[in-house]
Amino acid sequence: MPFESTRFIGWADDGRPRLPYDRIVEQHAVLRDTIATTLAGDPSAHQNLWGFVAFQSFAYVFNVYKAIGLLLPDHYHESGAVVLRQMWEVSLSLHWIERYPEPRAQDFCNFTVMEMRKAAEKTEARSSLRDFDEATKRFQSKFRFQDRHRRDRTHDNFSTATVRARADELGEPWNRDYQLIYHLSSMHAHGAPGAVLHQHFVQHSRSPETREIDSTALIAYLSMKTIVDDVHLLVRQGFAADSEKIDAVFESVLGPPPSRS
Report the amino acid identity of residue 135: A
- Across the chain, mean pLDDT equals 83
Q: Is 191 left (phi over 0), alpha (psi -120 to 50) or beta?
A: left
Question: What are the pLDDT digits (tens) for 3-30?
Answer: 444 444 334 555 566 788 899 999 999 9
pTM of the model: 0.83
Closest listed residue to residue 24, CA positions, set 155, 187, 175, 218: 218
Distance CA 58, CA 198 (A): 32
Q: How distant is the alpha carbon of residue 72 from its chain centre?
A: 17
The predicted-structure confidence for 187-219, as pLDDT tens digits, reads as follows 888 888 877 776 666 665 556 666 778 889 999
Rounding to the nearest 10 degrees, give the CA dihedral for residues 202, 207, 208, 209.
-170
Per-residue pLDDT reduced to its tens digit, 99-108: 999 999 999 9
> Strands 144-146 and 152-154, how do they pair?
antiparallel
- Measured between alpha carbons, how far apart are the two ends of the chain, in Å? 21
Task: Report the range of poorest mean pLDDT among 48-57, 135-144, 216-225.
Answer: 135-144
Domain ranges, ordered by start, for the chain:
23-103+163-251
Furthest-apart CA atoms within the chain: distance in Å:
73
